[in-house]
């Protein structure tokens, strides 16, 4: 079953990327799939509706559960961040306060790979933030603020 859920998540991601104007070739490259498989997916072949329904339910989980479950299913950071960011329901603005001590716990925690340390201070790329709040919760100095700014896809 996990394999089928992954297929459903890839299907939803492919549909959304096509809706955003990407070509089937570009989608295939991003999801590391054959172009023909993407085409089959988009035409409803090689995929059960049950897989799509389960995947749709997962995308409606809270951001943390959506992210951690997708990562557990895929065991692949790059594909996880693409699927989660493409299908996430919200957009987030992340901010690091001056109280950051550069411990790096947030960067180690972020499954979206949105955080780097620069000159012993955390920098968050909001474009890749899915609002899971795991960095905020792990920060020993309470230096991270995550704000939901608008609805996404
Ligand atoms: S966990 Fe907090 S203190 Fe540590 S690097 Fe991240 S923002 Fe800075
Ligand atoms: S809330 Fe923090 S841990 Fe979660 S995706 Fe955004 S930057 Fe990464």
Residues shown for the chain: 153
The pLDDT-based confidence of 26 (bands split at 50, 70, 90) is: very high
Query: How far are the Cα atoms of 24, 52, 90, 126, 135 from residue 151, in angstroms, in the given order?
Result: 26, 22, 4, 14, 21
Domain boundaries, the chain: 2-87, 90-151
Query: What residues does ligand 1 touch, defined as CB less than 6 Å away?
Result: 96, 100-106, 122, 139-141, 143-144
More confident residue, 123 or 1: 123
Q: Token digits for 149?
A: 């700014």
| Residue with tokens 């996430």, as numbered in its chain | 88
CA of residue 141 relative to chain centroid, distance: 26
Nearest protein Cα to ligand 1, atom 8: 100
Of all atoms in ligand 2, which is nearest to the CA of residue 136?
A: 2
Indicate left, alpha or beta for 102 from its phi (over 0: left) and psi (-120 to 50: alpha): left
Cα of 129 from ligand 2 centre, angstroms:
5
Give strand pairing partners of 94.
Answer: 146
Cα of 104 from ligand 2 centre, angstroms:
13
Nearest protein Cα to ligand 1, atom 2: 139
DSSP state of 111: T
- The class that CATH gives domain 90-151 is alpha beta
User: For a substitution probing ligand 2, which of 67, 113, 132 has the most ligand atoms within 8 Å of its CB?
Assistant: 132
Residue 152: is its pLDDT beyond 50?
Answer: no
CA dist., res. 49 & res. 71, Å (int): 22
Question: For 45-79, how does the pLDDT look when each residue is reduced to its tens digit (9 = 90+)?
Answer: 767 778 889 999 999 999 999 999 999 999 899 99
């Amino acid at each position: 079953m996990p394999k089928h859920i992954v297929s459903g998540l890839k299907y939803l991601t492919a549909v959304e990327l096509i809706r955003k104007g990407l070509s089937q070739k570009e989608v295939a490259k991003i999801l590391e799939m054959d172009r023909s498989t993407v085409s089959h997916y988009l035409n409803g072949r090689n995929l059960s509706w049950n897989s799509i329904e389960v995947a749709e339910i997962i995308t409606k989980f809270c951001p943390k559960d959506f992210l951690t479950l997708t990562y557990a299913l895929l065991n692949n950071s790059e594909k996880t961040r693409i699927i989660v960011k493409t299908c996430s329901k919200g957009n987030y603005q992340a901010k690091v306060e001056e109280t950051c001590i550069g411990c790096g716990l947030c960067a180690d925690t972020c499954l979206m790979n949105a955080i780097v340390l620069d000159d012993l201070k955390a920098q968050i790329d909001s474009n890749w933030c899915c609002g899971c709040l795991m960095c905020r919760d792990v920060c020993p100095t309470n230096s991270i603020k995550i704000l939901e700014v608008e609805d996404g896809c």
